[in-house]
Amino acid sequence: MIYLVVQTLVALSLVAASQHNQPCTYPNACWPSDGAWSSLNRTLQGGLVRARPPAAPCHVNSLNDTACNAVKENWNLGLWRGDQPGAYFDTAWENGNSYCNIDNDPAVPCDQGLVPIYMAQVKNSADVQAAVSFARDHDLSTRVKGASHDFLGRSSGNGTFGIQTIKLKGIEFDDTFRPKGSPSGTASQTAVHIAAGEHWYYVNKAASEHGVVVVGGSSYSVGAAGGWVLGGGHSSLSPQYGLGVDNVLQFEIVTPDSQLRTANRFLNKDLFWALRGGGPGFGVVTKVTYKTHPAITAISAFSVDATYTKASQHGFLKTLLTLQPALAAHNFSGYMYPSPTNFTSYLLVHNSADISGANATFQPLYDFAEAETGQGRPVTITSVATVLTEYLQMWGQDPLTVSEDGAARSILLGSRLAPMSAFEEPQVDAMVSFMENLGDYEFLQFHLIAGGRVNQVPENATAVHPSWRRASHHIIVATGWLTDTPFAARDLVRQGITNRTQALASIVPSFGAYVNEADINEPNWAETFWGPNYPRLRSIKSVIDPRGLFTCHHCVGDE
């Protein structure tokens, strides 16, 4: 009987969702009055801002030399971009089809682009509830902006209302955590509570000082309690401890009805499942509680670099790819970046400080490179870390003053998860051929961040695509455009990345994509991002957000 009632409620919610009007966007007549916005600003104690693209002070319609110089000084800083109401790590989702960058012609007016019209800069859960209540009352198309690292444009949108969580701060370690609502006698465990505005840079630093490890992102400006974990969250530590979602113990979230809720394995269990990999669109997460793990005391981390000729590219790439099973077998994990003439990687070996053993694993790569160049060892491997924090420092220096690779660029991605069989004959030849046919502004990345513990979690335990539980690698194909690229050419780039992604998919059929690093125009997006988990996600979305308040392109419910 209870099951029938739930089925009926879901069916009614689906009908309601299909019948509600399109969410309101600017400048339509439904847009709230200035008086209504002023009232919200008072409620937020001045926390409502009129958002503009960050380069606006450098353009004729908003020209301000002092402000423009400050923007230019910080333009490529990932943490700075996360703090700004109108800035995004990837400028493709900031500008859309507009020219509002610091190196564009200042005589060309700066359009609004994809930046939300107003941004509620929330400082606590009550602020979030007020912003969500306002959005619901006015049926606004609403986006949630955290650290601004979304590569699919889900936190921006033309004419929308934004809720920015970057001011929600707090990192609290808890050595006796028990989930809220757990029965008496539930065992405690070590954990860390992370507010939605924290970056992994600060979380990793705090964890090191506390003597523990948290599974998190390697890029220091990625948010620790936002889109990263909602999409699954991969890490160099994932083969050892699982994906980010496998380490979540509890969420605090303001749902579309503006209620602050706790979701864990005892409370709001369906929502807890959906938040672990279902992507954004279920509300505004204010806090995430993760497991912590004992500090890793035996670790070797390596930066492996190689230079080779275009003529020897085929042999080098094939040697590198056929080496992948051995790397996994010897507990390597991390990120590899091959190009037509050079190779860079950031790898670590779990529970090992054996540099000679690591060198032995890479010996086939050394042998090939030496034979091709005759110049001794053109590949270098260097032990640069004995603890995790030192490994993470390989990715960049002081994030407050040093530009972050990829920040303030317009980059489009496509991806597929891949099993280890993709690095065996005959698939490896297809992969090498795919790489050799990439264009001048296209590149590929190999992320050895699955397998191990990731494969040991049941396929239906979380909402991520089940192929995560059979994959060893995550493969990205990427491209982009320059700030002055004509709009028509940008459309060709968009189509090009879709074509490349589908070609990659043909090499690893039946495997999905990582929803946080995927093609925005993925043709069969629901199946590719979530597979058989999508119907359940759609039902939960219909109950949690029947009016479609939190909308975004190719998010759950975007049929």
Q: In sequence order, what DSSP letters do the residues of 380-440 get, joined into one string?
A: EEEEEESSHHHHHHTT-S-TTTSPPTTTTBEEEEEEEEE-GGGGSTTHHHHHHHHHHT--T
pLDDT at 379: 59
Helix (H) or strand (E) run with residue 343 in it: strand 342-350
Lowest-pLDDT range, 179-183, 302-306, 481-485? Answer: 302-306
Q: Is the pLDDT higher at 220 or at 528?
A: 528
Confidence of residue 296 (pLDDT cuts 50, 70, 90): confident
Of the listed ranges 93-107, 120-134, 140-154, 383-397, the one predicted with least confidence: 383-397
**pLDDT grade for 406, boundaries at 50, 70 and 90:** confident
Element containing residue 533 per DSSP (H, E)? none
Residues 6+ apart with CB under 8 A from 494: 412, 520, 521
Is pLDDT at 335 greater than 80 in this prediction? Answer: yes
pLDDT attached to residue 355: 66
Task: Assess whether 357 and 235 both reside in one domain.
Answer: no
Q: Is residue 542 in some structural domain?
A: no
Same structural domain for residues 153 and 209? no
**Model confidence over 205-236: pLDDT tens digits?**
999 899 999 999 988 899 999 999 999 999 99
- Any idea what the CATH number is for the domain that residue 360 is in? 3.40.462.20
Record the tokens describing residue 528, joined without a space: 């590719």
Q: How far apart are CA 525 and CA 531, in angstroms?
A: 9
Q: What is the pTM of this model?
A: 0.93
Residue 279 clears pLDDT 60, i.e. is over it: yes
Q: Which is nearest to 224 in space by CA: 245, 198, 246, 259?
A: 198
The pLDDT of residue 307 = 72
Residues 270 and 304 in one domain: no
CA–chain centroid gap for 492, Å, is 25
Predicted confidence band of residue 9 (pLDDT cuts 50, 70, 90)? very low
Question: Can you spell out the DSSP letters for 484-500?
Answer: T--HHHHHHHHHHHHHH
320: containing domain? 299-530
Range of weakest confidence among 340-354, 366-380, 497-511:
366-380
13: confidence class by pLDDT, cuts 50, 70, 90 = very low
Domain identity same for 240 and 352 = no
Instruction: Say whether both 212 and 161 belong to one domain.
Output: no
The crossing angle, in degrees rounded to 10, of helices 34-43 and 125-137 is 160
pLDDT of residue 328: 94
Q: What angle do CA 5, 11, 12 make, to 5 degrees?
A: 90
Which SS3 state, helix, strand or coil, does residue 299 take?
strand
Task: Tokens for 409, please give them.
Answer: 């660029």
- Asked, for residue 550, whether it belongs to a domain, the answer is no
What's the average model confidence in pLDDT over 157-168?
A: 98
- As a whole-number percent, the residues of the chain with pLDDT over 70 amount to 88
- What pLDDT score was predicted for residue 372? 74
The total number of structural domains in the chain stands at: 3
Q: Where are the alpha helices (DSSP H) in 224-339?
A: 227-230, 238-241, 269-275, 313-322, 324-329
